[in-house]
Chains A and B, each alone.
Chain A
Amino acid sequence: MPLDVIMPALGMAQDTGHLVAWKKKPGDRVAAGDVLFEVETDKSVMEVEAQGEGWLVDVAAEEGSDVPVGRVIARIADSPGESGAAEAQASAPAPDAGAEAPAPAPDTPALPEGRAVIMPVLGMAQDAGLLVAWSVEPGARVEAGDTLFEVETDKSVMEVPAEAAGYLAATLAAAGEEVPTGEVIAILTETAPEAPVTRTRAEGAAPAPATPPAKAEEPAPATPPARAEERARPVSPPAPAPETGGRLLASPKLRRLAHEEGLDLALLRQAGVPEPWHVRDLERLRALAAEAATAPAAAPAPATAGLRLVATLSEDSLAGTLAWAAERADLAPEAVLAGLAGAALGLPATVAVETLHARSLWHVPSRRLTAVTAAGEDATPSLVLRDLTASRLTEIAAGPEPAPVLTLTRGPAGLTLTLEAAPGALAPLAAARLLDGLAGRLEDPLRHLF
């Protein structure tokens, strides 16, 4: 898949990078990690590496030139012959990225003209940053140096200052979204906006930092299908903020109150309330929770999902136990299994023991294994024990059946005992006790005595 090679932001307040030298020529094969070019910052000369492998094509910046941060200056393509229309733009004068007003996508409000703010490169090998929070309200004024937003890198949360004074007229990513470095995430204007634009990245309306003419002239037939898919950004109505699994930022007091009232903080993120949240957001959260509770078809989980618990046993515990029982009391293995399982479930029990080829039913009246008797075929089991250790199956997830099912399988790491039950058939703790109880008995038959 062709990769854009951009001029990265190597410093916090860096607008342009001085391209000192190309280390690869157009048409060269590059591997991930190869140095593509060198950039001079005000501190030193830094090497920029390829983020993927392929062939270097569409080289669009000359050695010795100053390239605006975020500008696409080359591509790494799947074959040496690929080329986009960007080559035709190579000699075009480089407009200031800050002054460009990106062409609006159809069906979305036009983005204001102003200074583009990009997701900066904050670490050496960083290709995306998690936007933790906007530090300023949309539409508010910032001075140069004021913290504009916070980014989480793999090391820490860093505050990114505004490089110039202005009004936050547009935000193009929401708190919690991951943004590739170099992508425009905000626009600062000189005059206060009437209606600040607030978008999320999920809506896909963020413009690429490259100049619009290059994008608009890209002829569709000339581009490989993969690239066309990459370029296509569906414009959909505002979607709820994606579940990034990132931390929800709330004050300790709000967290406690939300917990006490059983409210889900994630509702605030879905509603787009800017983080961090405080106690004054509690009212809103209560309202959102009330809405969610009354929403139709708000079934959080399908009714068919049952309980599934898994335990592992040491390899030869089963064989040892059965051998012990056979030696002690001349008991059939199925009876032993039924007796142990029944005791784990709760006595008295009727246990069906199944293997790949046979099924038997047993009455388990007491802990005395010798008291286990065969039951008639029409008996209704309260528990099914499926011994599949003689088969090659290593894992099972068959879904709930009328009675709880304990399945024994043999895997590379030993024996696995899986308990599956229909929702409501067994309370989670009772299920855990059952599984643990049988597993323990299989590993150490003496446990059966207690």
Chain B
Amino acid sequence: MTRQITLSKAVNEALAEEMRRDPTVFIIGEDVAEAGTPFKVLAGLVEEFGTDRVIDTPISEPGFVGMAVGAAMTGARPVVDLMFGDFLYLVMDQLCNQAAKTHYMSGGKLTVPMVLRTNLGATRRSAAQHSQSLHALVAHIPGLKVALPSSAYEAKGLMKTAIRDDNPVVIFEDKLMYQDKAEVPEEEYLIPFGEACIKREGRDITLIATSSMVQVALAAAETLAAEGISAEVIDPRTIVPLDEATLISSVRKTSRAIVIDEGHRNYGITGEIASRLTEKAFYHLDAPVLRMGAMDVPVPFSPALEDLTVPTPGTVAEAARRLCRGEAMDAA
């Protein structure tokens, strides 16, 4: 049985179910308890699990992430709430030097089964310091897993897998999608890491998209279908680990690919994935592999400008058209 629930509700359910199942799971972060976070995702949890397991902190990201790392090393399974993905910069040492490396540097004696729950996504008019999509920063660090749910269905399944994973996992939800609904099973289900999902099958071009860009790619695919271009849309779901095999097998079929991600285009996720495709599917490519990401500028505050900085169904469709025509490219 499935029902339509919002992404926010799906995350809430995942956390509640895991906290019921495993008493060592707890939540820590700013405004997580009574406020349920500014996005109201955690509403109701402190009522059920109490303030010992849903812990409000002062504004002290390095502090409470450090606490969570320590708690994880000593037997707990913390879910740390980082209110905005932009605050990653504040916790890089705790996350990338401590959490990511402890298992390796302790010779396997210590594990850090911590989940860092945060968000990404622009066009919310939150300006440059609250609109960044920084998953590339953590994907680059060995020792961290990175999940990018693209709908309520993914959000619940990936969160449960993350909590049960003994490694530190960073999950980025798209803050624009909290009220978006999707079919979510009532029964328990988990989505394994390293397994991509083909959201739409196609023959002419592969669109690989993450997070909310999956919806953008699907909309572009609709437009293209009306023009006779059959686009395959793939959601990698986790970028670390990355399901390369599914992506490459798709590109071998279509011989063209565009990678779409909301991080900045330069030196980001799209470059990594495009590179792997070029490396491993080179002799099957009939066109260059394109990257589409957010413009390489600080996210503008002006709504008109902000909306121009991210890929849209229109720009994705246009890029796909030009690739299929075999034109020399300069996709923005």
Q: Is the Cβ of A252 less than 8 Å from the Cβ of B283?
A: yes
Q: Which of A58-81 contact B (CB under 8 A)?
A: none
Segment of A3-11, A275-283, A330-338 engaged in the interface with chain B: A275-283
Partner of B282, one of A133, A135, A150, A252: A252
Asked if B328 contacts A251 (CB within 8 A), the reply is: no
Please give, as numbers and ranges, the residues of chain A lying within 8 Å of B283 by CB-CB distance.
Answer: 252-253, 255-256
Query: Considering only CB atoms, which chain B residue lies closest to A259 in the complex?
Result: B283
The residue that A147 contacts in the complex, of B282, B326, B328, with Cβ under 8 A, is B328
Chain B residues within an 8 Å CB radius of A147: 328, 330
The answer to the question of A254 belonging to the interface, with a C-beta cut-off of 8 Å to chain B, is yes
Within B277-300, which residues are at the interface with A (CB < 8 Å)?
282-287
Kindly list chain A residues whose C-beta atoms are within 8 Å of the C-beta of B287.
251, 278
A251 contacts which chain B residues (CB < 8 A)?
255, 285-287
List, in ascending order, chain B residues with CB within 8 A of A279's CB.
255, 286
* A253→B328 contact, CB < 8 A: no
**Chain B min CB distance to A426 (Å):** 35
Per-position binary interface string of chain A over residues 18-33, scored 1 when its CB falls under 8 Å from any chain B CB and 0 otherwise: 0000000000000000
> Across the interface, do B326 and A254 meet the contact criterion of CB distance under 8 Å?
no
Complex Cα spacing A280 to B327, Å = 13
Q: How far is the CA of A276 from the CA of B282 in the complex (A)?
A: 16
Q: What's the nearest-Cβ distance from chain B to residue A282, in Å?
A: 10
CB-based contact B326/A252 at 8 Å: no
* A295, chain B: closest CB distance, angstroms: 29
Q: Are B326 and A253 in contact (CB under 8 A)?
A: no
CB–CB B326/A280 < 8 A = yes
CB pair A278–B286 under 8 Å, yes or no, is yes
Instruction: Digitize A379-409: 1 where CB-to-B-CB distance is under 8 Å, 0 elsewhere.
Output: 0000000000000000000000000000000
Tell me the complex Cα distance, A278–B326, Å: 7
Contact of A252 among B285, B328, B330 (CB under 8 A): B285
Closest chain B residue to A274, Cβ basis: B326
Main secondary structure of the interface of B (DSSP, over half): loop
Q: When A and B form their complex, what is the total count of cross-chain residue pairs whose Cβ atoms lie within 8 Å? A: 32
- Give residues 105-157 of A contacting B (CB, 8 Å): 133, 135, 147, 150
Bound form: Cα–Cα A254–B287 in Å:
10
From A133, A135, A253, A280, B285 is in contact (CB under 8 Å) with A253
Can you name the residue of chain A whose Cβ is closest to the Cβ of B327? A135
Q: How far is the CA of A159 from the CA of B326 in the complex (A)?
A: 16
> How near does chain B come to A229, taking the closest CB pair, in angstroms?
39
Contacts of A253 in B (CB 8 A): 255, 283-286
Q: Shortest Cβ distance from B256 into chain A, in angstroms?
A: 9
- Report how far A33 CA is from B326 CA in the complex, Å: 43
Given the complex of chains A and B, what is the CA–CA distance between A279 and B255 in angstroms? 9
Convert B321-332 into 0s and 1s, putting 1 for each residue whose CB lies closer than 8 angstroms to a CB of A. Answer: 000001010100
Closest Cβ–Cβ distance, residue A248 to chain B (whole Å): 15
How far apart sit A279 and B252, CA to CA, in the bound complex (Å)? 13
A224-261 Cβ-contact flags toward B at 8 Å (1 or 0): 00000000000000000000000000011111100000
Q: Mark B293-330, 1 if CB is under 8 A from A, else 0.
A: 00000000000000000000000000000000010101
Most chain-B Cβ atoms within 10 A of its Cβ — which of A147, A159, A276, A278? A278
Bound-complex Cα distance A182 to B55 (A) = 74
Q: Which residues of B contact A254 (CB under 8 A)?
A: 286
Within the assembled complex, what's the spacing in Å between the Cα atoms of A255 and B284? 10
Q: How far is the CB of B288 from chain A (nearest CB, A)?
A: 9
**Measured between alpha carbons, how far is A25 from B287 in the docked complex, in Å?**
54
Given the complex of chains A and B, what is the CA–CA distance between A253 and B283 in angstroms?
A: 5
State the CA gap A280–B326 with chains docked (Å): 9
The answer to whether B284 and A276 have CB atoms under 8 Å apart is no
Interface bits B26-43 vs A (CB < 8 Å: 1, else 0): 000000000000000000
> Which residues of A sit under 8 angstroms from B330, Cβ to Cβ?
147
Q: How far is the CB of B275 from chain A (nearest CB, A)?
A: 15
| Docked complex Cα distance between A251 and B326 (Å) | 10
Using Cβ atoms and an 8 Å threshold, which residues of chain B touch A255?
283
Minimum C-beta distance from B233 to chain A (A): 21
Q: Which residues of B contact A135 (CB under 8 A)?
A: 328
- Of B255, B286, B328, chain A has the most CB atoms within 10 Å of the CB of B286
A255 to B255, CA, bound (A): 13
Q: B91 CB to closest chain A CB, in angstroms? A: 42
Residues of B within 8 A of A278 (CB): 286-287, 326
| Bound-state Cα–Cα, A163 to B330, Å | 18
Q: How far is the CB of A337 from chain B (nearest CB, A)?
A: 50
- Shortest Cβ gap from A294 to chain B (Å): 29
Bound-state Cα–Cα, A152 to B282, Å: 24
B209 to chain A, nearest CB (A): 23
- Residues of chain B within 8 A (CB-CB) of A133 are 328
A138 CB, min distance to chain B CBs, angstroms: 15
A250 to B, closest residue via Cβ: B286
| Assembled-state Cα–Cα distance A280/B324 (Å) | 10
B80-96 CB contacts (< 8 Å) to partner A: none
A250–chain B nearest beta-carbon distance, Å: 10
Which residues of chain A are within 8 angstroms of B326 by Cβ–Cβ distance? Answer: 276, 278, 280
Which residues from 260 to 280 on chain B have a C-beta closer than 8 Å to any C-beta of chain A? none
Q: What's the nearest-Cβ distance from chain B to residue A188, in Å?
A: 18
A 273-314 to B, binary, CB cutoff 8 A, 1 in contact else 0: 000101110000000000000000000000000000000000
> What are the 10 A-B residue pairs with the smallest beta carbon separation, nearest first?
A256-B283, A253-B286, A251-B286, A278-B326, A279-B286, A252-B285, A278-B286, A252-B282, A252-B283, A253-B255
Query: What are 15 sample pairs from A and B whose C-beta atoms fall under 8 A apart?
Result: A133-B328, A147-B328, A159-B328, A251-B285, A251-B286, A251-B287, A252-B282, A252-B284, A252-B286, A253-B255, A253-B283, A253-B284, A253-B286, A256-B284, A280-B326
For the A-B complex with A278-B286, A279-B286 known, give 14 more contacts whose Cβ atoms are closer than 8 Å. A147-B328, A159-B328, A251-B285, A251-B287, A252-B283, A252-B286, A253-B284, A253-B285, A253-B286, A254-B286, A256-B283, A276-B328, A278-B287, A279-B255
Q: Which residues of A contact B (CB under 8 A)?
A: 133, 135, 147, 150, 159, 251-256, 276, 278-280
